[in-house]
Structure 1
Amino acid sequence: MRTIWILVLVTLSVVVYAQDGVPELITDRPDQTESSSVVPLNSLQIETGFVRENNKTDDARLISFAYNTTLLRFGLFNNFELRLGIDYLGEDVLANDTGVSDIYSGFGPLYTGFKVKIAEEDGWRPEVAFLGGLALPFTANKDFKTDYSALSSRFSFGHSFSERISLGYNIGVEWDGETPVPGYIYSAALGVGLTEKLGVFLEGFGLIPEEGGVEHLCDAGFTFLVLQNFQLDVSGGIGINENAIDNFFSFGFSYRFFK
């Protein structure tokens, strides 16, 4: 939480003047679909927020928190960005049979990755990017340390139907670190610009593991562009099938430092 407030204070203390030619602020939050755009060359983009997930089973009620889920994106080349992520997590597990609640908190595994743009949008052909990442279990608090390294890879596609309507979708594979068995991920998000500053999105996403139950979810949310390089967001979603979590809620902000 302290990191979030420090970032907020730093951001709000910066006076941003309107400039012609400033690239559009495109973020990878709050939806689950990663954008097919990379951050501008030599720019640092911070995307951070809070997430609460609720899930109830026959044995327990689980409330999971990401008090501070932060992703740093740096434009190393015109078509390539480096990515570094860290989450401060919490869990509250209430056993139904005993009524005893166990509470955990600590840092999750450090995430390192990249995104490379493969193709620009051209008519019917979408914008295409590839993302790869690795989460390192030894960097996590003992309560959130996984047995294996978590790997992820996905292709991201983007279509612009007009200045205010766009569609993004991802397909990929990931290893969550809990088992050596991979799962296949999918997502599709429709974004609509209601005004020049206010946007809304609708999304469906899920996980299809090689072993275990399939998870399908949907969510929706709003983004508000406060300044050219500063955006607020709020979103929420629900699980569609029994294997998915019951619901979740998120809010956060994104800020890009000028070159």
Structure 2
Amino acid sequence: MLKRFFIALFLFPLVIEAQVQDVIITDRPSFSESAYVVPFRSLQFELGSQFRFSSFDSPKGERTSTDITALDALVRYGLFRRFEVRVAGLLFNSIEFGENSFLNNAGLGFKYQPIYEKGLKPNLTLFAHWEWFRSDKPEANLDRMKVVNKIAASWTILKKGGILVNLGTLYDYEGYLPNTNTLSTMFSYSFTNRFGAFAEYALVLPEEGDNVQFIDAGVTYLAKERLQFDAIYIHRLAGKSNYNELKVGISFRLME
């Protein structure tokens, strides 16, 4: 029973012991995707709010501030064993910046876990997502689609902690964004059977333009076996367009 509690604690992209997979493991809001899928015939909802505070130099040399408040959602369903389908998107996104006052997106994807090991052995997951972006402002030229592919591998190196690594690519069919490679790594640790914390570093490498780095840290709290709360603080480093972001969320699962 104690081992089951340790598993339940890691609500984020890594679980401590992979003996049981009927607890919540959240793919939102961190940069990395987990190396696990939702159980067969399980329906999981993940909701969160974003609060972003940023400033950067405009082409005219002026310092501009951009504040964003958004509500995002991710719905995951275990269609087969070790295979899930998912729908994601922004339910609301308010951007205070120039003419582009509203932006939303929707995504459809799947996740497959070909390698599932128990105990201290690594786990591996393959992930693909198709995302559509649009804007209410025609002049914003943001009606486009992109594809995100990732490989996620997790490894429990301690009884109460482990490492998660993601490798990914992003391809924009419309050519609005440069093709991009991504790398992220996360370390997570459990303090009690309900409270955990994690730290993450992510590197975004576009074919054109400057590299972008993300440094974040967060906490998770397991209220009930299938109900969790989370909070994460993100710092983005990208030349002169840095920003700080706070995300808070809730996840719950319905079992068939």
| TM-score class normalised by the smaller sequence | 0.7 to 0.9
Instruction: Name 2:37's counterpart in structure 1.
Output: 38
CA distance 1:196–1:178, change in 2 (3 Å): farther
Count how many residue pairs are aligned between Structure 1 and Structure 2: 228
Provide the rounded CA distance (Å) in 2 between the counterparts of 1:199 and 1:173: 29
Alpha-carbon displacement from aligned partner over 1:104-159 (angstroms, at most 9, x marks no partner)? 235x121000000021236775200011011124xx44247734311100100011
Q: Of 179, 184, 187, which aligns to 2:184?
A: 187
Q: Percent identity?
A: 24
TM-score by length of 2: 0.82
3-state SS of 1:104 partner: coil
Matched to 1:220, the amino acid is A
CA distance 1:104–1:196, change in 2 (3 Å): same
Q: Cα distance, 1:103 vs. partner? A: 6.9
| 2:27–2:33 contact (8 Å) kept in structure 1 | yes
Provide the rounded CA distance (Å) in 2 between the counterparts of 1:216 and 1:22: 32
Q: Cα distance, 1:32 vs. partner? A: 1.2
| 1:52–1:248 contact (8 Å) kept in structure 2 | yes
Instruction: Name 2:148's counterpart in structure 1.
Output: 152
Greater fraction strand: 2
Q: Of 63, 67, 78, which aligns to 2:67?
A: 63
Q: Tell which deviates more after alignment, 119-128 or 82-91.
A: 119-128
Q: Cα distance, 1:24 vs. partner? A: 2.2
Provide the rounded CA distance (Å) in 2 between the counterparts of 1:164 and 1:226: 19
3-state SS of 2:158 partner: coil
Matched to 2:171, the amino acid is W
Q: Does 1:92 align with 2:89?
A: no
Provide the rounded CA distance (Å) in 1 between the counterparts of 2:204 and 2:190: 28
Q: Of 127, 144, 163, which aligns to 1:167?
A: 163
CA distance 1:113–1:211, change in 2 (3 Å): same
Provide the rounded CA distance (Å) in 2 between the counterparts of 1:121 and 1:71: 26
Moved over 6 A (4+): none
| 1:216–1:244 contact (8 Å) kept in structure 2 | no
CA distance 1:161–1:219, change in 2 (3 Å): same
Instruction: Name 2:198's counterpart in structure 1.
Output: 201
Gaps of 5+ in 1: 1-20, 94-100
Q: Of 132, 136, 157, which aligns to 1:136?
A: 132
Provide the rounded CA distance (Å) in 2 between the counterparts of 1:40 and 1:102: 43
Q: Does 1:82 align with 2:85?
A: yes
3-state SS of 2:30 partner: coil
